[in-house]
Structure 1
Amino acid sequence: MNRAWWKEAVVYQVYWRSFLDANGDGIGDLEGLMLKLDYIKSLGIDVIWLNPIYESPDKDNGYDIADYYRIMAKAGTMEQFKQLLDKVHELGMKLIMDLVVNHTSEQHAWFEESRSSVDHPKRDWYIWKPGKPDGPPNNWRSYFEPSTWTYDERTGEYYFHSFAKEQPDLNWENPELRQEIYRMMRFWLDQGIDGFRMDVINLLAKLEGFPDAEHPENIDYLGNNPGIHEYLQEMNREVLQHYDIMTVGEIPFVTPEDGLLYVGDNRKELHTLFHFQVADDMPTWDLARYKEIQESWYEAFRHEGWNSQFLNNHDHTRQVSRYGNDGQYRVQSAKQLATMIHTLPGTPYVFQGEEIGMTGVRFSTIDEYHDIAMKNKYKEEIGKGRAPDEVLHSLQPLSRDNSRTPIQWDGSKHAGFTEGQPWMQVNPNYGEINVERDLAAQDSIFAYYQQLIALRKTHAVMVYGDYRDQSSGEEHVYAYSRSLDGETWLVILNHSDREQSYRLPASFADRATNASFVIGNLDRSTSDEVREGTLRLRPYEALIYSL
C-alpha cells in the first residue's frame, strides 16, 4: 500500500464558534483558536479541520455561504485567518477548510441574480423547475424540510434545495458554474491551506428528470447519482492534482463498494471519505453491526483506497453519550472508544472536546436549541398533532446541538469559553468536566489521547497493519489484530458495564507467551493473563498487547 502523510495524520476538528471567544461577543472566533493552538499541538495533532468561516447569514451555522471569498465577521478577518494559517504551519501542523459547493445561501449574489429573471445568464447556475398542477415538481424530501422545492413568486417557478429553503442547490451541469467553483478552490489553496473537507460532495449530481420517489422518506435519491464521478475527476484534473493536499469527502448513502469509486488509488478523485453507516445508521451502540461495518469497509479498501474513523462530529451526538457510558464509566468508556478509533484502519478524527470526554446535553425547551434540522422537524411533528414534550424528548438524543455546546475550558463562569453571553448554553457539567481539570490529572482522558497519538506516530502497525477480527461471536468484546512486517498488535475492548472474559484464539497461543503490554485504559502493569490465554476484562476496559 502506498504511504502518504495524510494517511498517517490525526485530524482535530474545530467547530470554531464553540471553541473559544476572544472578543467577548459570546461566539468563538479565529483569535480564540490562535490562543489555543499550543493546546491542540500538545495533543499530538497533525491536521486541523476548520468548519466554514465564509461570509454567511448563518441559518445553518455557516453551511449557507453568501460569499466564498470573505470571512464571516463573527469569525474574524482575512488578516486573522492568514495569521492563523501561519501559526498552524509554524507549529508543524496543517489546516484544511470546509468546502461547501453543493449549495449556497439564498443571499449569495449568484442566487439573487438567478432568481431575478428566467432569462438571467445565471438562471441555470441553480435548479429551477415549473411546478405540477397540484404543487412542487416532485415528491422528494430534503434533509431539513418536507420538500426539496420552494416556490419563488418572482418568476413563478420552484428552486431545489437538498437542505433548508435558505440553501439552494447549485446546478453542477452548468460548466460556467463549475469553473467558477474551481477558481474559488484555487484561491484558497493558493493562500496555503492544506486541503478540503468536502461537504456532502456526492450530492452534486442529481437524478435526471427528477422522477417521483416510491419512498420519498428514504432520501438516498439525493446522492451518488450518474455524473458525480465525472464531476470529481474534472475537479481533480482542474485543481486538486496540482497541490500536495488532503481531501476528504463527506459521502452519505454509500456502501463500501460505492465508496471505493470515490477514493480508489486509480480513480483520481478524492483521497479519503467519511461514510455514515455508523453515525447515521446506528443510533445506539450495536457491537455486532459495528464489527460487520468495519469488516466490510476494510475488505473493500484493503488494497486501495483509504477510510476515516470517527464516532462524532458537529452533526452527530458526542460519542461518550451515544456509544459509551457518560455516567459511572464516562472516563473509562471515553478512553475505550478512543483506543478503538485510533487503532482501526483509516485516519482518526478527534472532535473538539472529545479529548476530555465532553458529553451530550438535554435542554428543557425547544427554544434553547439552535439546530435548524431539529427545530424544523419539531415544527413538522407538532403540526401532525403530536404532543410537544413527546416530540422534544424524541429529538433530544440525536440533536446536533449535543456536540455544539461550547468547549469547557475550566470551572469559571461559562466554562471559560467567553466573558460575554455564550451563543449557546454551556453544558451544566462544566464544573466537573473541563480542560483545566484534565490537564492537571496524570490519568486523564486528555493524557490517554496523547499516549495513543504518540504511539501512532512511532508504530506504523497502527496505520498500515493488516486488520483481522479476533472476536467473532463475542457479544460484548471486540478484539482485533493489526499486523505489519512481522509485528502484531492485539486490541481487546470490553464494550459493556460488566466484567467480561476473553479467550485468545488458538492461533495466538504460541505468541502469547512473549506478549508485552502496550497501553490500556485501566491499571494493568503485567501481561500475565494474556500469556495464560484468558483475560478478565473490567467494564469498558481497553487493552493493547504486542505479540
Structure 2
Amino acid sequence: MKKIKTNDFHKMVGYQIYPKSFKDTNGDGIGDINGIIEKIPYLRELGIDFIWINPIYKSPQVDGGYDISDYQVIDEMFGSLEDFKKLLDKAHENGLKVIMDLVVNHTSDQHPWFLESQKSKDNPYRDYYLWEDASPNQMPNDWISFFGDSTWAYDEKTKQAYFHVFAKEQPDLNWKNPKVRQEIYDMIRWWLDLGIDGFRLDAISHIQKMPWNYKIKSWKGDGPWVPFMNVAGIETYMSDLKAIFDEYGALTVGEASGVRSKQAPDWTDEAGYINMIFELEHNVRKSNGNGQGSIYGYKKVIMRWQEDLLERGWNALYIENHDQPRSIDTFGDGSIESAKALAVSYMLLRGTPFIYQGQEFGMTNFPFTDAKQLRADEIKKKYEMLMTELSANQALAEVTQNSREHSRTPMQWDNSKNAGFTSGQAWMEINPNFSVISSRTNQELIELYKKLIELRHQEPAISEGSIKFHFKRHPQVLVYERAEFLIIVNLADKKAHLDFTKIDSFTDSSAESSVINYQQVLGSSNQKFQEKMVLSAWEYRVYKK
C-alpha cells in the first residue's frame, strides 16, 4: 500500500460500489469481486481516484453484509481472498486506490465470538459483548435501536440481555474490553498489510455508550439515540485507531452520526482521527409526506457544514449512497437535467466527492408494485406491521417511499438482457427502465461528471480553495465562489431570478471578484455573466475569472 500523502485526498474523487448489485460474472445473479475487476477500465475512464467497497466479508446478510461473522474471510457469494488480491493488483495497476468498510461497532450474532459469548456468563468471550441482567418483561433500560425496537435482546439460557443499536442479529461489541480492542486493531493491520489503502468507518460514533441509567430526554428526531452517538470517552478509542491509520498512511472516511458540524473539525483536521467525514443531515424531506427532498433544507445543511469546516477539517461530499433513495428522484424530477444540476451543486464544493454506482448515468428509484419485490429484512418487517392498519398498496408505498431498496437495484450497464448485470436471475429485480437508462445511453451526464472530476484534479481553487456562499436565503438556487470560480445552480423545475448588484463584491469594478472578468467554463448553455440573470429550470453555470 502506498501511503496517502498529506492532503492528497483533497484532489481525489471516490466511487462507492455496492458489490452485490455491481456486476455478476458467474451467473448466480449476485455481483462479485471479478465483476469489479472487469469494470476497472470503466472506472478508470470515468476518472475517479479510489473505490469504496461495501462489505464483502463473511456474513449471514441480515443487514446487507453489515452483520459480519468473520472479518478476515471473503464471503463466498463474492469470491475468495485470492480474487480480492487480484482486484487490489488490478486497481493499483490502474492508479486506483481501494478502501473497505470497517464495521467494528458490532458483529453478526453468528460470529464465533458471540456464539461463545452466548454459552455462559463465565465464558471467556462473555464480555466481548454488552450483557446485563434482565427478564423477558424487564430490560435494563428503555432505549430503542435504530430499527425501532428495544436495544436489548433477551437470552433465556443465561437470563441476561445483550445490547444492539441495530438489528438484534447485530450485537454491539464491548469496546471497554482491551481484548476486544486488540482483536480489532490486529484485524485492521491484517487488511492494511494485505495492501488495501484505507477504510470507511461504519457507524463508528456508536462504539461508546452512556451509562445504562441514562434517561432519554427527547423522543423526537435523533433524541432516542443520544445515549450511543458520539458519547464522551470515544476520543480514547478514536486516538488508538488514528495511530494505526497514521502508521500506514491509510485513507479514512467516517460515518459518524451525532458528530455535529461544529465538532467535525476536531475529527478531521490534521490532528483529527480521520481524513474526512460524511454529514448525515442533508437528506431533508418536505413536510408534505411524499418523500420529496427539500432543496432549501439540503442547501442549508450543505452551507452550514461547508462553513463550519472552512478553517479546519474536511468534508466527504455525496448526494447518494447505499442507504438512501436515488437523488434524481429525491431532489430532482427524474430528468437528466435535474441530475446534472445536482452533480454540479456538490461536486465543486470544498471536500472529497463520492459518486455512488449508477449515479453517474442517472439511475432512478425502482417502481415497486408488489411486496414480493422487497429484499431488506427490516423493510419486510415494517411492511408486515403496517399491513395491520393499511391496505397492501398503502403499506408498500409507505415502506418504499424513502427506502434504501431503491439504491440497491442491480447496475444498468446496457440495454441487453438483465441490463448487462448478470446472465442469470438477478438477486433483486432490475429497474425496467434499463432500456433507456444505462451506462451506454446517458453519455451526457457521464461526460459532465468527467469534466467535474477533471476540474477537481486540475484546479487548486477547487481542491484547496476557500468557499463563500451568496443568495443564502434563495429557496432554490445555490451560488458559491471557490476563489476565482463562481458556481451557480438552479435546483428546481422553474425559473429563478438573481440580482448580483445587491452583492458589493460584484458591483465594485475595483474588487478582485469583478463580474467583468468571468468566463464560462461549464454550463447547461453558453451564457455570459450578467449582473442580473434569469436561470431556466435546472440550469447550472460555472464561471472562472
Normalising by the smaller structure, the TM-score range is: over 0.9
Q: Please say which of residues 198-207 and 213-222 is displaced more in the overlay.
A: 213-222
Alignment-derived partner of residue 534 in structure 2:
536
Alignment-derived partner of residue 366 in structure 1:
371
Alignment-derived partner of residue 275 in structure 1:
279
Distance change (3 Å), C-alpha of 1:386 and 1:139? farther
List aligned pairs for 1:20-419, cutoff 5 A.
20-131=23-134, 134-216=137-219, 218-221=223-226, 222-237=228-243, 239-267=244-272, 269-279=273-283, 284-326=292-334, 330-383=335-388, 385-419=389-423
Answer yes or no: is the 8 Å Cα contact 1:248–1:272 preserved in 2: yes
Answer yes or no: is the 8 Å Cα contact 1:144–1:372 preserved in 2: no
Answer yes or no: is the 8 Å Cα contact 1:117–1:155 preserved in 2: yes
The one-letter code sitting in structure 2 at the alignment partner of 1:331 is I
Residue 132 of structure 1, CA deviation: 5.5
The one-letter code sitting in structure 2 at the alignment partner of 1:125 is Y
Scaled by the length of structure 2, the TM-score of the pair is 0.93
Distance change (3 Å), C-alpha of 1:407 and 1:463? same
CA distance in 1, matches of 2:448, 2:390: 45
Gaps of 5+ in 1: none
CA distance in 2, matches of 1:15, 1:53: 9
CA distance in 2, matches of 1:373, 1:195: 30
The one-letter code sitting in structure 1 at the alignment partner of 2:352 is T
The one-letter code sitting in structure 2 at the alignment partner of 1:503 is D
Answer yes or no: is the 8 Å Cα contact 2:292–2:329 preserved in 1: no
The one-letter code sitting in structure 2 at the alignment partner of 1:149 is W
The one-letter code sitting in structure 2 at the alignment partner of 1:418 is T
Where 2:345 maps in the other structure, the secondary structure is: helix
Residue 281 of structure 1, CA deviation: 7.0
Residue 234 of structure 1, CA deviation: 1.6
Alignment of 1:494 onto 2:490 = yes
Q: Please say which of residues 179-188 and 202-211 is displaced more in the overlay.
A: 202-211
Distance change (3 Å), C-alpha of 1:181 and 1:404? same
Residue 3 of structure 1, CA deviation: 5.6
Answer yes or no: is the 8 Å Cα contact 1:145–1:164 preserved in 2: no
Answer yes or no: is the 8 Å Cα contact 1:195–1:247 preserved in 2: yes
Residue 500 of structure 1, CA deviation: 1.8
Residue 85 of structure 1, CA deviation: 0.3
Answer yes or no: is the 8 Å Cα contact 2:201–2:255 preserved in 1: yes
Q: Please say which of residues 64-73 and 210-219 is displaced more in the overlay.
A: 210-219
Alignment-derived partner of residue 525 in structure 2:
523
Answer yes or no: is the 8 Å Cα contact 2:295–2:331 preserved in 1: no
% identity of equivalent residues: 39
CA distance in 2, matches of 1:404, 1:148: 26
Residue 390 of structure 1, CA deviation: 2.1
Where 1:480 maps in the other structure, the secondary structure is: strand
Residue 451 of structure 1, CA deviation: 0.9
CA distance in 2, matches of 1:210, 1:279: 32
Alignment of 1:424 onto 2:428 = yes
Residue 191 of structure 1, CA deviation: 0.7
Answer yes or no: is the 8 Å Cα contact 1:55–1:68 preserved in 2: yes
Alignment-derived partner of residue 480 in structure 2:
480
The one-character-per-residue Cα deviations of 1:345-385 (angstroms, maximum 9, x if unpaired) are 111010000000000113112221112332232233345x3
Where 1:348 maps in the other structure, the secondary structure is: strand
Q: Please say which of residues 226-235 and 288-297 is displaced more in the overlay.
A: 288-297
Residue 133 of structure 1, CA deviation: 7.6
Q: How many residues align?
A: 527
Residue 96 of structure 1, CA deviation: 0.3
Residue 210 of structure 1, CA deviation: 4.5
Answer yes or no: is the 8 Å Cα contact 1:206–1:223 preserved in 2: yes
CA distance in 1, matches of 2:238, 2:315: 18
Gaps of 5+ in 2: none
Q: Please say which of residues 241-250 and 390-399 is displaced more in the overlay.
A: 390-399
Residue 395 of structure 1, CA deviation: 2.0
CA distance in 1, matches of 2:240, 2:309: 23
